[in-house]
Structure 1
Amino acid sequence: MKLALVDDYVPALVEEESVRRLAGDLPEIMALPPFYRMAGLIEHWGELRARVASSKAPRLSLDEVALRAPVPRPTKLLCGQLSFKEGVAEASVKPAFFLKSSTSVIGPGDTVELPSVDAPVFHHEAELALVIGKRAKNISAATALDHVFGYTCFLDMSARAVGHGTSFQDKSYDTFGPMGPWILTADAAPDPHDLNVRLWVDDELRQDYPMADIGNPIGDMIAYASSIAALEPGDVLALGVNHQGVGPIQDGETVRIEIEPIGGFAVQVRDPLGRRWEKGIDTRLAATVLRMVRGEPLGTVEFSRRIDR
């Protein structure tokens, strides 16, 4: 099942190329603040699932509604940090997360606004994200996936090297967390380790990596997060990225993510300062991350060069 928020944050059931607005089916959810309706639906899914599945609301085409971020204000938005082996089979990767501001979240068709900070570069990171379905605290890796409600696509936009080593400052700017287009419920999803993540900038395919490259089983990552903080229904865990296809984003570009069978969406990029960087994959960043996962000396950390000055 695919669940979305549309228009004024109305829960909706997505069926192929059509959508049913569930306002009439879920009056108790509609009574909640708009940003928290999906979290409410998730928390009470056991009671409401049959009502959603049997909805007779009129079918609308996807073109007739505006898709919103499916979880527009997660109570916790955790992002995996250096989560992937980067194609290095022998790499040893430890689970790690950082908190990203929930006000960074935007939805399909929205605009990423690059802030005026003096960052060496701004990057895209296409990621699989999971949405927690039931409370998880100190759970085992073996049962962790039972706590997942579903999966969605996430773009972890980044301003490099402005936070003096803290990812929160690099990644929490408003609009830096595009999410969507909906949630594919876990019972309808394949093994998340079998998925493939792709991203285009305009017509250029940049990221195309398998979730099988992740450094730890996803259940281990959830269990690790739950050992630190209780995970609640509607919390979002973005699982991190393979950096070998990461590159700059700049004014006027369209960035599109796709993870089948979840789906995909696009956002626009706006930079009031009109800054420009070398286009394409940031091979300098890719090489730096490879050195990190191999345990080699980092040396000088470099990024794609700015070309407008």
Structure 2
Amino acid sequence: MKFVTYDGGKTGLIKGDGVVDISSHCTGSGQAAMESLISNYESLKGDLEKLAKDGDATPLSSLKLDAPLPRPGKILAMGGNFLENGAKKPAPMWGFTKSLDAVLAPGGTVVLPDIDANIFHHEAELVLVFGKNGENIKSAEAMDYVFGYTCGLDVSARIFTDTPAPARVPNTLPISSAKSYNGFAPMGPCIVTKDEITNPQNLHVELRVDGELRGDYNTNDMGNTIEESIEYVSAIESVSPGVVFYLGTNHQGLGAMQDGDNIEITIEQVGSFSFNVSDPLKRKWAKGVDQETAKAVREGTSGPGRSVRPL
């Protein structure tokens, strides 16, 4: 099944090209309602299946979608988790968290902040939604804790100074300030329950900017499996229903986000949505894929966006 949050906090079940209002089966609205649905899904499943068959649906085109989880309890994320189309070998795992204020709904607008960033990159990612409480989860049991998946963008401001960055502290998930500005975590359009995904480790991900294909990869390029990634983060942070987990990206299709862009992400079996970009400073970068970053990450010579500057 596919679930959405819409029209200011209602909870809905997607039926074809429409949405059945299931708010009466949830407690509260918005984030609280979706969390109650996830927590009670097994007991609600029979009623939801009936609504999916017989419920009256309102056309999706007439609704305003919110992020399916407008304010998750945590936004966890993996870093450097892809092999760049087989060019790299799996590296020690690391990750980070994002501010809850970063969530953006489909159709929303990311406003690029007034900071001295080399570039603002779009990172299209499969996002996992946890379904129950857990910590220190072993990989063999990891999928039991998954409720479903959604699409997400990890918007990243690449900020570099003359001061060397401190070494990563093992077994921590620090908040990334450069990835936590308002609107830097677009999510949507829905949550797809895990039973509808044939194999989350084999999904095609695409990202387009004004119709131009940039991101184009498969989740089978992950260096660490989803199960291994869950084991890693849950040893550091506890999880609960509605916590989201960005699983990382392939860097070969990154590019600049700039004023006036319309950015669309599509993930096979999950869905697609788009959002807009505004930059009050009207900064400009080269259009298309950031080939310098793609090469640097592929060859392991530097971090993304280190040598790029506005035109």
1:94 aligns with 2:102: no
Query: Contact 1:105–1:174 (CA<8 Å) still a contact in 2?
Result: yes
Post-superposition offset of 1:233: 0.8
Query: Contact 2:116–2:159 (CA<8 Å) still a contact in 1?
Result: no
Post-superposition offset of 1:202: 0.4
Query: Structure 1 residues 299, 160: CA separation in 2 closer, same or farther (over 3 Å shift)?
Result: closer
Task: Give per-residue Cα distances to partners, 1:19-45, cap 9 Å, x unaligned.
Answer: 11112x32x52xx25332211211121
- Tell me what 1:73 maps to: 71
- Tell me what 2:45 maps to: 49
- The correspondence of residues 218-237 of structure 1 with structure 2, limited to 5 A, is 218-237=226-245
Task: Give per-residue Cα distances to partners, 1:26-67, cap 9 Å, x unaligned.
Answer: 2x52xx253322112111212222222222542111101111
- Tell me what 1:267 maps to: 275
Query: Structure 1 residues 58, 33: CA separation in 2 closer, same or farther (over 3 Å shift)?
Result: closer
Query: Contact 2:88–2:298 (CA<8 Å) still a contact in 1?
Result: no
- Tell me what 2:213 maps to: 205
* Deviation beyond 6 Å, 4+ runs, structure 1: none
Alpha-carbon RMSD across the aligned residues, in angstroms, is: 1.9
In 1: Cα distance, 2:87 partner to 2:192 partner: 30
Query: Contact 1:4–1:183 (CA<8 Å) still a contact in 2?
Result: yes
Query: Structure 1 residues 118, 146: CA separation in 2 closer, same or farther (over 3 Å shift)?
Result: same
- Tell me what 2:202 maps to: 194
- Tell me what 1:302 maps to: 306
- Tell me what 2:60 maps to: 62
TM-score, with length taken from structure 2: 0.91
- The correspondence of residues 135-174 of structure 1 with structure 2, limited to 5 A, is 135-161=133-159, 165=165, 168-174=176-182
In 2: Cα distance, 1:284 partner to 1:108 partner: 30
- Tell me what 2:128 maps to: 130
Give the AA of the match of 1:302.
R
Give the AA of the match of 2:193.
T
- Tell me what 1:35 maps to: 31
Query: Contact 2:255–2:290 (CA<8 Å) still a contact in 1?
Result: yes
Task: Give per-residue Cα distances to partners, 1:125-169, cap 9 Å, x unaligned.
Answer: 000000000112112111101110001000001111169758611
In 1: Cα distance, 2:183 partner to 2:84 partner: 27
Give the AA of the match of 2:205.
V
Runs of 5+ in structure 2 lacking a partner?
166-173
How many residues are paired up?
Answer: 299
Give the AA of the match of 1:41.
L
In 2: Cα distance, 1:234 partner to 1:86 partner: 29
Counterpart secondary structure, 1:290: helix
In 1: Cα distance, 2:18 partner to 2:109 partner: 24
Give the AA of the match of 2:260.
G
Give the AA of the match of 2:147.
F
Counterpart secondary structure, 1:194: coil
Query: Contact 2:297–2:304 (CA<8 Å) still a contact in 1?
Result: no
Query: Contact 2:259–2:277 (CA<8 Å) still a contact in 1?
Result: yes
Query: Structure 1 residues 280, 90: CA separation in 2 closer, same or farther (over 3 Å shift)?
Result: closer
Counterpart secondary structure, 2:31: helix
1:16 aligns with 2:19: no
- Tell me what 2:171 maps to: none
Post-superposition offset of 1:115: 0.6
Query: Structure 1 residues 253, 90: CA separation in 2 closer, same or farther (over 3 Å shift)?
Result: closer
In 2: Cα distance, 1:96 partner to 1:282 partner: 24
Post-superposition offset of 1:300: 11
